[in-house]
Chain A
């Protein structure tokens, strides 16, 4: 402990250099944090996908409809506990860039299939009973200032109403939250029965099914059973786990996520190289002084430790500030409003970042520290 003032004096002796070194490390770790959040977002929170949920789509592509009547058959399929169907509505609120996903669903089924959506009791009651009711996620509600009781007009792009108009109006009677970080709260749900009666075409046709199964480990067998059930019908199905579905969808963005990750990782290390070099240089400059310390009786181990502590202090300080900033920046959530709903900095990456910072301090300091330890006093003093 008594050596801390010594380390401190060394750090502040060249204030500008220490400051800029710390700052470049801050930037590197800020980038690291944002990258981790982006990585999470491009993987669309695969980790958050329920492992007891399967998604059933039309075998040819998701844009093709499945009959609503499949629901009853799915409910009696062994292993299936709950069944929900969803349909892509694709409406526009005010202007196309205000994109968020809207889905007609059966209200009670939505809440049983997605227990991660949290709705206050009174709002839940309204959602289950009022057919013109719609619920919207917190993120989208905040984005457009939707409040419970608002009446929201949505322009349909696909489904016009029977009277030919494409203007749908919904009463917002609930705003749901996620029960944990990263849960997608951008979606807008409304009553399927209301939708099915009012739409001009496609009655009895739905987009895809979500089912809950009783045993996640039996998922492949159940998926096979479901697909076999509808084989050779007009609408053959493809059943996958929610995880695989989300993963495949994320992979559609594909290489781009990987490219951005790769590039940024490379540069993260470039900046660290720059910082490490400066730190090594700072120690190299003080060769004489280290020799003097040794002359005064500082042991080899102590000199090694002093140098390492110094470089670790810089790295950890920079790392902590950088990660802290990244955490602050990512608190705002999805910067694109809807394309990357799972944009947040996972705690595991914070820990990983902190370890990286410590590792950086050790890597940057170890060479000069070992040199300092091995220093022969006479050589070092002569070197000036």
Chain B
């Protein structure tokens, strides 16, 4: 017990001595801090992009909504359903009903070329043709400006994300797609979900404009409960008149986000890992020079009877502290610079734009700090061991 206490007090003394003298080694310490801060900033920023994208897609949809497409279709874009199909789907077991019938919305999902503000080039913006039930299926959608479109008219309402990212979507503006003119009559907020990237209009007007006859692409069906999904799915997949693919809305959007978020995460993690290695080399040099400049000091302590262990710990503490400062600066920079930053990218799976915001979550900040500490630990280890192994006599003799 006494030896442990003695050891701990030695650790404390040597560490304090170390930290007090940091000021004399300010420039090289600063360099280590800057290096680690840079790495953590990039690490957190890039992952916050993937996180933001993933969150947008993952919060889209609720577990008691099912999405129905043609069998074989891997996204709404390539699906196709006949009017007859959509009726059968609405009448299937498990679908919630209200006064006007089943709460199921047959929809069209196409894209339209619009100018993206940030790049000033055209981009594939999703345009959804919906019926009155679309709002019943998505209770989180509310109009924040203007009004809903009127059935049968060439009117559009636009999601908040789309309104921010693409040109010409202000309420009152007129857009021309092909031979028809459309007026923007409202802006809706879908709570940061995928729908926020979309333009909505009356399916009945969109069908002739895109030469779709009476066909649709998907049906969104509100179920009696999340558990009713299996019953609903079984009813549709066993019906010989139909050849359909039935998914929970949550699963569908999680799947749709996979490709892009994997790409960003892999790229980001790879870049951050490489940079981390570079920063570790920098940290090792900093700590080596810290040890070198204090050789006599360390040797004196050893001569006075201080053990090797406390010396190792003290060097590690210094390097961890520098890493922590660097990590905090880096995480802070990423948060200030990127949290909530609105952007949009193409989701390859739907071939259309998704607007989303960078999300610097507490989890990411913690991950960044852990990464910083890891760099500090690796960077401090070798120099710490060298400090402890210093031959006392030789070091004392050195000028």
- Expressed in whole angstroms, the Cα–Cα distance for A81 and B75 within the complex equals 37
| Any A CB within 8 A of the CB of B278 | yes
Q: Which residues of A contact B223 (CB under 8 A)?
A: none
Name which residue of chain B comes closest to A157, CB basis. B78
16 contacts between A and B (CB under 8 A): A23-B278, A24-B285, A31-B275, A59-B178, A60-B113, A61-B110, A62-B113, A158-B78, A252-B353, A254-B344, A256-B345, A259-B343, A267-B275, A278-B285, A281-B289, A384-B399
Contact call B288/A64, Cβ cutoff below 8 A: no
**Is A254 within 8 A of B38, CB to CB?**
no
Q: A31-B275, A263-B42, A271-B282 are in contact. Are A281 and B28 (CB under 8 A)?
A: yes
Mark out the residues of chain A between 253 and 276 whose CB falls within 8 Å of any chain B CB in the assembled complex: 253-256, 259-260, 263-264, 266-267, 270-271, 273-275
B111, A267: Cβ atoms closer than 8 Å: no
Whether A273 pairs with B46 at a CB distance below 8 angstroms is no
> Which residues of chain A in 34-54 are interfacial with respect to chain B, using CB atoms and an 8 Å cutoff?
34, 38
Closest CB of chain A to B334's CB: distance in Å? 10
A273 close to B34 (CB less than 8 A): yes
Partner of A271, one of B35, B73, B263, B267: B35
Report the 9 A-B pairs with minimum CB-CB distance, sorted nearest first. Answer: A27-B278, A270-B38, A274-B282, A24-B281, A252-B346, A251-B119, A251-B121, A248-B121, A271-B278
CB-CB under 8 A for A274 and B124, given A60-B177, A266-B42: no
Residues in A with CB closer than 8 Å to B124 are 61-63, 252
Residues of B within 8 A of A273 (CB): 31, 34-35
Contact with B along A60-101 (1 / 0, CB 8 A): 111110000000000000000000000000101000110100
A342 CB to nearest chain B CB (Å): 15
Q: Is there contact, CB below 8 Å, between A166 and B72? A: yes
A364 to chain B, nearest CB (A): 12
Question: Does B225 touch A at the CB level, under 8 Å?
Answer: no
Q: How far, in Å, is B380 (CB) from chain A's closest CB?
A: 13
Query: Contacts A157-B73, A336-B263; is A255 near B42 (CB within 8 Å)?
Result: no
Interface size range of chain A in the complex: 35 or more
Partner of B345, one of A158, A252, A270: A252
- Is B366 close to A, CB under 8 A? no
Give the nearest-CB partner of A22 in chain B. B281
Chain B CB within 10 Å, residue with most, of A27, A28, A156: A27
Q: Tell me the number of A-to-B contacts counted with CB atoms below 8 Å.
A: 180
Assess whether A234 is interfacial by the CB under 8 Å rule: yes
Contact of A254 with B343 in the complex, beta carbons under 8 Å: yes
With contacts A60-B178, A267-B38 taken as known, whether A274 is within 8 angstroms of B31 at the C-beta atoms is: yes
What is the size category of the interface that chain B forms with chain A?
35 or more
Question: What is the 8 Å Cβ interface bit string for chain A, positions 303-346, against chain B (1 contact, 0 not)?
Answer: 00000000000000000000000000000000110010000000
Least Cβ–Cβ distance between B113 and chain A, in angstroms: 5
Decide yes or no: A61 and B344 within 8 Å by CB, A157-B73, A248-B122, A255-B118 being known contacts. no
Give bound CA distance, A28 to B26, whole Å: 24
- Per the bound structure, the CA–CA distance linking A16 and B344 in Å amounts to 46
Contacts of A92 in B (CB 8 A): 74
B49 close to A155 (CB less than 8 A): no
CB pair B72 A160 closer than 8 Å: yes
Is B112 within 8 A of A61, CB to CB?
yes
State in angstroms the CA–CA spacing of A234 and B348 once bound together. 28
- Complex Cα distance A259/B289, Å? 35
Contacts of B268 in A (CB 8 A): 260
Q: Are B42 and A27 in contact (CB under 8 A)?
A: no
Instruction: Scan B258-279; emit 1 where CB is below 8 A from any A CB, else 0.
Output: 0100011011100100110111
Chain B nearest CB from A146 CB (Å) reads: 21
Residues in B with CB closer than 8 Å to A20 are: 281-282, 284-285, 288
Which B residue's beta carbon lies closest to that of A18? B285
Task: Write out the residue numbers on chain B whose beta carbons fall within 8 Å of the beta carbon of A376.
Answer: none
Set A38, A63, A99, A275: member contacting B77, Cβ < 8 A: A63
Q: Give the residues in chain B near A263, CB-CB below 8 Å.
A: 41-42, 45-46
Residues of B within 8 A of A158 (CB): 73, 78, 80
Q: How far does the Cβ of B202 sit from chain A's closest Cβ, in whole Å?
A: 17
Known contacts A17-B285, A266-B42, A274-B34; A254 and B72 CB within 8 A of each other: no
Task: Give the distance in Å from the alpha carbon of A128 to the alpha carbon of B147 in the complex.
Answer: 57
Chain A residues contacting B66 (CB-CB under 8 Å) are none
A256 to B274, CA, bound (A): 20
A135 to B104, CA, bound (A): 44
Q: A253 to B78, Cβ gap below 8 A?
A: no
Residue A186, interface by CB 8 Å: no
B210 within 8 A of A: yes
Q: Report yes or no: A63 in contact with B263, Cβ–Cβ below 8 A.
A: no
CB of A27 to closest CB in B, whole Å: 3
Answer yes or no: A247 CB below 8 A from chain B CBs.
yes
Is A254's CB under 8 angstroms from B113's CB? no
The interface bits of chain A over 128-141 (1 if a CB of B lies within 8 angstroms of the residue's CB, else 0) are 00000000000000
A299 within 8 A of B: no
Which A residues are CB-close (under 8 A) to B32?
274
B10 to chain A, nearest CB (A): 27
User: When chains A and B are docked, how far (Å) is the Cα of A99 from the Cα of B75?
Assistant: 13
A203 within 8 A of B: no
Contact call A27/B122, Cβ cutoff below 8 A:
no
A57 to B42, CA, bound (A): 39
Mask of A356-384 contacts with B, CB within 8 angstroms, 1/0? 00000000000000000000000000001
* Chain A min CB distance to B364 (Å): 15
Interface residues of A in 208-234 (CB under 8 A from B): 232, 234
Q: Does A196 sit at the interface, judged by CB under 8 A?
A: no
How many Å lie between the Cα of A146 and that of B279 in the bound state? 43
Beta-carbon nearest neighbor of B343 in chain A:
A255
Q: Which of B59-100 contact A (CB under 8 A)?
A: 71-75, 77-78, 80
Task: Give chain B interface residues in 5-62, CB to chain A under 8 Å.
Answer: 27-28, 31-32, 34-35, 37-39, 41-42, 45-46, 49
Q: Nearest Cβ in chain B — how far from A106, in angstroms?
A: 23
Whether A64 contacts B210 in the complex (CB less than 8 A), given A17-B288, A270-B35, comes out as yes
Q: Quick check: B74 and A157 within 8 Å, CB to CB? A: yes
Report how far A129 CA is from B262 CA in the complex, Å: 42
> What residues on A are CB-neighbors of B222 within 8 Å?
none
Give B109-143 as 1s and 0s: 1 = Cβ < 8 Å from A's Cβ atoms. Answer: 01111001011011110000000000000000000
CB-nearest residue of chain A to B348: A339
Q: Is the CB of B281 within 8 A of A23?
A: yes
Q: Is B3 an interface residue (CB 8 A)?
A: no
Contacts of B282 in A (CB 8 A): 20, 24, 271, 274-275, 278
With A248-B122, A266-B38 given, is the CB distance from A260 to B267 under 8 Å?
yes
B238 at the interface (CB under 8 A from A): no
User: CB within 8 Å of B: which of A93-121?
Assistant: 96-97, 99
Measured between beta carbons, the chain B residues less than 8 angstroms from A336 are 263
B-side contacts of A23, CB under 8 Å? 278, 281
| B271 interface neighbour in A31, A253, A339, Cβ under 8 Å | A31
Q: Given A92-B74, A251-B123, A254-B123, decide whether A277 and B31 contact each other with a Cβ distance below 8 A.
A: yes
Q: How far is the CB of B397 from chain A (nearest CB, A)?
A: 15
CB distance from B259 to the nearest CB of A (A): 8
